[in-house]
């Protein structure tokens, strides 16, 4: 089959062609009727040979004139297309600039208008002024990131829908975070979530290790986030990668200095709504071009793009249903439950109940937004199923397929391409701003704030220091972004980095909340061992060659109208058309066979134990890291248990775990304080609290006041110690000494007052 059969022209092309030939016919008719009266005279004056010679010359002149006119018509058409493309690009550039400026000004408008003094709490937590709807969309945007808009469609196009099933693990993470993580540290009143680890383990080392893990992971993921829109900008407008990376990071730094969490959330809302609108427009246009929803489903299913529910337990396969669920569950738990930028959003809400409502209400939102990107991939593949742009040389990277489709199919709608580019640019911008805010806060609170010279800074000086740290991180991200281009795609890069760094961080939080016997020695040893293990496997995987199955592509259905003439053809397309004019279905089947065979050969080879370990898919890295952290942490904690020194306040454990703690291994815990006892609790607990007072000082009528109530109101009381099986609370030694000292001082004061009264009498 020829690669260039008769073109199937669209309506606009037919109209332009008809108009061109109509004017050509008028021109030829005018010449003919103007000169027709001279033909008899010429025949009469010339002999036959002269007439034949003259006819030959006339025919040649006519052909030359006709050919010249046709070339002029073609040239005019090309000039028209160039002019139309240039005018469209001008509009796209205007939309691009206006949208970026608008997205920058709108979130900061209130700051410019009110000009109130900004505090550290305003900057970090937005002081609970953000609505639940805006918070839901912001959390969803932070969950998916800009990778969903470019990465997921290209993943389905070239590798299928296996990664789509990571949605299951993501949705399972939401209720776990709501009912395990949020109840523990929502009301702690901390600026950095890693302060919780310091309170729980009474160790700066554990806190710094966790903070450092978060910083490294955020820097790597932000580098991928910044690099992602640069792919589209380079594809569509030819903007160099260095220019895009520099622009995004520079604007992010400026936004970070001027904005704060509230501005980042409002910008997330703008970007989220815009991305939804653009995705819906792509889906509608693609479905109409293909001929309906049915053809889209049929083509993607028949070509192997919709292959769900693969329960193969082989850990070396890149993605299966099992690895997608387990891997994404542990990655999502680490992100939602242990990452500073998400915890800041939880703490900015008015109540824990509102946090739970927002998180659970986000489940259908994240389902729709996550699936929307994959549907975009289905539609784009259905349009290019028989004429792949990458095989023809129009694009060089997998992640360029979405911007190429917009450029190809929406060229007659000026401004949409600019809107898409601005959306990608701003999406990376807002995510960078949000994470820079969190990175700077964590760095100051967990590292610089521990330095004695900086611990006593005023609020405004702390805020200034946080902003300076954000600027420094912006330049670091700029440098790391240039290295991301060497990895294989946005999704591959993002998932690899997130999975490799999520396990140790999640593991130490699980130890803190769910394992009462865990101490700082076990937590530190577990994190260090887990980091070494996961990094060893990660770098080892880069030393071996893995057979990643690429689904077959085809160019057998390419026609002149498949790809818009407004799209500039690459130089390689001409040689491709010259040397591949007979691409048939047999070549496509051969390509499928070769791909399958290479995969089978790669899987059948005998691997050494070390190579097998390196071949484990990156989807399991987060699970491996979490498991090793918890396992090593428990073992080391049991071996180094010291009930007198391993003391912490019991409300730092999960409430359910606290009730079940007697079933956990290890020596009985000695807490620095019991959990709150409410007034509406049963009489047994009330009697227990009364026994405490009698046990402390049976002859002191003011011992109840010594226990006191906490600052949350009269409904809550705290008692430093632990409740024994006999219903009495054994106070820790430090607190008991304080009570005895207070009693002695009270007695001395009372004696002095008595003596003074007697003297006066």
Residue 216 in contact with residue 222, Cβ under 8 Å? no
Whether 247 shows a pLDDT value over 70: the answer reads yes
Task: Among 128-137, 315-324, 382-391, name the one with the lowest average pLDDT.
Answer: 128-137
**Closest among 628, 621, 620, 623 to 526, alpha carbons compared:** 628
- How far apart CA 169 and CA 498 sit, in angstroms, is 14
Q: Quick check: 514 and 633 in contact, CB under 8 A?
A: no
Please state, in angstroms and rounded to a whole number, the distance separating the CA atoms of residues 659 and 662: 8
Q: Encoding tokens for residue 420?
A: 């898409």
Nearest by Cα to 397 from 559, 589, 236, 256: 236
pLDDT-derived band at 137 (thresholds 50, 70, 90) equals low
Domain assignment of residue 605, yes or no: no
In terms of domains, do 87 and 182 share one?
yes
Q: How far apart are CA 76 and CA 60, in angstroms?
A: 24
User: What CA–CA distance (Å, rounded) separates 227 from 481?
Assistant: 6
Widest CA span in the chain: 164
pLDDT of residue 420: 81
Please report which confidence band the pLDDT of residue 605 belongs to, taking 50, 70 and 90 as the band edges.
low
Query: Is there a domain that residue 53 lies in?
Result: no
Query: Does position 53 have pLDDT exceeding 60, yes or no?
Result: no
Q: Based on the fold, state whether residues 441 and 333 are members of the same structural domain.
A: yes
> Would you say 532 and 627 are in contact if contact means Cβ atoms under 8 Å apart?
no
Q: Which of 382, 415, 409 is nearest to 567 (CA)?
A: 409
Between residues 443 and 150, the one the model is more confident about: 443
Residue 589 and residue 694 in one domain: no
Q: What angle do CA 48, 34, 56 make, to 5 degrees?
A: 30
Instruction: State pLDDT tens for residues 646-703.
Output: 888 888 888 888 888 767 665 566 676 543 333 333 333 333 333 333 343 334 434 3
User: Which of 121-125, 228-232, 309-313 is least confident?
Assistant: 121-125
Residues ≥6 apart with Cβ < 8 Å to 431: 141, 142, 145, 146, 222, 225
pLDDT band at 70; cut points 50, 70, 90: very low
What pLDDT is recorded for position 629?
96
Structure tokens at 255: 């936004």
Which pLDDT value is given to residue 704?
A: 40
Identify any residues that bridge with 723 across adjacent strands, giving them in sequence order: 729
What CATH number should be reported for the domain holding residue 429?
A: 1.20.1730.10
Could you tell me if 588 and 721 lie in one domain? no
Answer for the pair 514, 628: CB distance below 8 angstroms, yes or no.
no
Task: Round to whole Å and give the CA distance between 157 and 306.
Answer: 10
What three-state secondary structure class fits 276?
helix
pLDDT over 60 at 235, yes or no: yes
Establish if 42 belongs to a structural domain: no
Residue whose tokens read 């080892």: 540
Q: Which of 71-80, 120-129, 289-298, 674-683 has the lowest mean pLDDT?
A: 674-683
What would the two tokens of residue 656 be? 């359910």
Residue 406 lies in a domain: yes
Asked if pLDDT for residue 120 goes beyond 80, the answer is no
Residues 280 and 385 in one domain: yes
Structural domain of 370 = 83-485+547-600+610-614
Give the Cα separation of 458 and 472 in Å (integer). 21
What is the number of structural domains in the chain? 2
Q: Is 702 within the bounds of a domain?
A: yes
Same domain? 378 vs 240? yes
The predicted pLDDT at position 230 comes to 82
**Average pLDDT over every residue of 719-733:** 49
3-state secondary structure 330-348: HHHHHHHHHCHHHHHHHHC
Cβ–Cβ under 8 Å, residues 550 and 320: no
Is the pLDDT at 468 greater than 70? The verdict is yes
Of 198, 512, 182, 487, the C-alpha closest to 351 is: 182
pLDDT of residue 73: 43
Is the CB of residue 362 less than 8 Å from the CB of residue 140? yes
Rounded distance, CA 247 to CA 481, Å? 12
* Predicted structure pTM score: 0.68
Residue 179 DSSP label = I
730: phi then psi, degrees, rounded to nearest 5: -95, 110
Q: Are residues 271 and 398 in the same domain?
A: yes
Does residue 4 lie within any of the structural domains? no
Band (pLDDT 50/70/90 cuts) for residue 50 is very low
Arithmetic mean of pLDDT, 414-423 = 81
Same domain, 690 and 572: no
Q: What pLDDT does 743 receive?
A: 58
pLDDT greater at residue 327 or residue 35: 327
687 and 595 within one domain: no
On whether the CB atoms of residues 85 and 417 are closer than 8 A, the answer is no
Exposed / middle / buried, residue 443 (Cβ in 10 Å: 0-12, 13-18, 19+): buried
Same domain, 733 and 588: no
Split at pLDDT 50, 70, 90, the class of 135 is low
In a domain, 125, yes or no: yes
**What pLDDT is stored for residue 701 in this prediction?**
38
Same domain? For 295 and 148 the reply is yes
Inside any domain, residue 343: yes
**3-class DSSP state of 640:** coil
Mean pLDDT of the chain: 72
* pLDDT tens readout for residues 510-563: 999 999 889 999 999 999 999 999 989 988 887 887 766 788 888 888 877 677
Q: What is the structure's pLDDT at 272?
A: 77
CA distances from 79 to 10, 72, 91, 566 (A): 19, 10, 18, 11
The region, left, alpha or beta by phi > 0 then psi within -120 to 50, assigned to residue 704 is: alpha
Q: Is the dihedral of CA 138, 136, 348, 446 positive or negative?
A: negative
- Which tokens hold the place of 44? 């009469």
Whether 327 shows a pLDDT value over 70: the answer reads: yes
Q: What is the mean pLDDT of residues 195-212?
A: 90
Whether residue 587 is found in the same domain as residue 721: no
Over the stretch 155-193, which tens digit does the pLDDT of each residue have? 999 999 999 999 999 999 999 999 899 888 776 767 678
Q: Residue 470 pLDDT > 80, yes or no?
A: yes
Please determine, for residue 326, whether its predicted confidence score (pLDDT) is greater than 90: yes
d(CA 219, CA 233) in angstroms, rounded, equals 22
What percent of the chain is predicted at pLDDT more than 70?
61
> SS3 of 355, please?
helix
Q: Which of 614, 642, 670 is the last residue of a domain?
A: 614
More confident: 617 or 58: 617
Q: What is the secondary structure of 82-143 as a DSSP string? A: HHHHHHHHHHHHHHHHHHHHHHHHHHHHHHHHH-PPPPHHHHHHGGG-S-HHHHHHHHHHHH
């Amino acid at each position: 089959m020829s690669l260039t059969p008769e073109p199937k022209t669209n309506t606009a092309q037919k109209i332009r062609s008809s108009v061109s030939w109509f004017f050509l016919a008028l021109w030829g008719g005018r010449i003919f009727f103007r000169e027709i009266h001279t033909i008899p005279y010429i025949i009469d004056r010339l002999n036959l040979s002269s007439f034949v010679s003259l006819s030959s010359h006339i025919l040649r002149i006519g052909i030359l004139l006709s050919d010249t006119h046709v070339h002029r018509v073609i040239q005019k058409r090309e000039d028209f297309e160039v002019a139309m493309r240039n005018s469209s690009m001008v509009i796209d550039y205007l939309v691009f600039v206006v949208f970026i400026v608008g997205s920058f000004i709108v979130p900061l408008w209130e700051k410019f208008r009110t000009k109130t003094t900004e505090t550290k709490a305003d900057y970090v937590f937005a002081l609970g002024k953000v609505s639940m709807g805006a918070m839901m969309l912001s959390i969803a945007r932070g969950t998916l990131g800009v990778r969903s808009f470019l990465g997921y469609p290209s993943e389905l196009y070239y590798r299928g829908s296996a990664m789509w099933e990571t949605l299951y693990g993501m949705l399972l993470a939401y209720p776990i975070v709501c009912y395990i993580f949020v109840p523990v540290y929502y009301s702690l009143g901390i600026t950095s979530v890693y302060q919780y680890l310091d309170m729980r383990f009474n160790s700066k080392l554990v806190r710094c290790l966790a903070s450092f893990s978060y910083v490294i992971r955020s820097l790597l993921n932000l580098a991928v986030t910044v690099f992602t829109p640069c792919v589209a900008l380079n594809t569509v407008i030819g903007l160099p990668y260095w220019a895009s990376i520099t622009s995004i990071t520079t604007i992010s730094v400026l936004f970070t200095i001027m904005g704060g969490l509230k501005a980042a959330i409002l910008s997330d809302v703008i970007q989220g709504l815009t991305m939804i609108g653009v995705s819906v427009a792509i889906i509608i246009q693609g479905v109409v071009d293909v001929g309906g929803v049915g053809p889209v489903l049929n083509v993607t299913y028949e070509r192997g793009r919709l292959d769900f529910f693969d329960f193969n337990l082989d850990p070396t396969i890149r993605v299966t249903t099992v690895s997608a669920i387990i891997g994404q569950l542990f990655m999502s738990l680490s992100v939602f439950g242990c990452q500073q930028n998400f915890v800041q959003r939880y703490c900015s809400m008015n109540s824990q109940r509102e946090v739970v409502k927002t998180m659970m209400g986000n489940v259908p939102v994240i389902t729709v937004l996550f699936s929307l990107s994959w549907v975009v991939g289905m539609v784009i593949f259905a349009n290019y199923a028989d004429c792949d742009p990458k095989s023809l040389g129009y694009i060089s990277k997998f992640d360029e397929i979405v911007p190429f489709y917009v450029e190809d199919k929406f060229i007659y709608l000026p401004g949409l391409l600019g809107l898409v580019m601005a959306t990608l640019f701003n999406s990376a911008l807002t995510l960078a701003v949000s994470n820079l805010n969190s990175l700077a806060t964590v760095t100051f609170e967990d590292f610089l704030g521990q330095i004695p010279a900086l611990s006593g800074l005023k609020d405004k000086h702390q805020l200034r220091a946080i902003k300076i740290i954000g600027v420094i991180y912006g330049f670091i991200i700029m440098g790391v972004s240039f290295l991301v281009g060497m990895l294989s795609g946005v999704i591959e890069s993002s998932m690899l980095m997130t999975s490799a760094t999520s396990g140790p961080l999640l593991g130490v939080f699980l130890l803190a909340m769910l394992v009462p016997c865990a101490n700082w020695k076990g937590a530190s040893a577990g994190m260090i061992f887990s980091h070494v293990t996961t990094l060893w496997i990660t770098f080892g995987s880069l030393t071996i060659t893995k057979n990643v199955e690429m689904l077959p592509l085809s160019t057998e259905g390419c026609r002149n109208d498949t790809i818009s003439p407004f799209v500039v053809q690459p130089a390689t397309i001409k040689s491709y058309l010259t040397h591949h004019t007979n691409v048939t279905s047999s070549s496509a089947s051969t390509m499928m066979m070769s791909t399958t065979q290479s995969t089978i050969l790669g899987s059948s080879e005998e691997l050494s134990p070390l190579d097998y370990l390196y071949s484990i898919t990156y989807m399991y890295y987060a699970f491996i890291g979490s498991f090793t952290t918890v396992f090593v942490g428990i073992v080391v904690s049991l071996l180094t248990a010291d009930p007198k020194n391993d003391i912490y306040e019991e409300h730092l454990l999960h409430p359910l775990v606290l009730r079940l703690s007697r079933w956990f291994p290890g020596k009985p815990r000695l807490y620095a304080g019991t959990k709150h006892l409410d007034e509406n609790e049963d009489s047994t607990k009330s009697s227990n609290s009364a026994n405490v007072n009698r046990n402390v000082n049976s002859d002191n009528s003011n011992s109840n006041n010594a226990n006191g109530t906490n600052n949350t109101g009269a409904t809550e009381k705290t008692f430093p110690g632990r409740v024994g099986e006999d219903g009495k609370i054994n106070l820790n030694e430090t607190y008991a000494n304080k009570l005895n000292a207070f009693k002695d001082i009270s007695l001395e004061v009372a004696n002095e007052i008595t003596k003074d009264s007697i003297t006066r009498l």
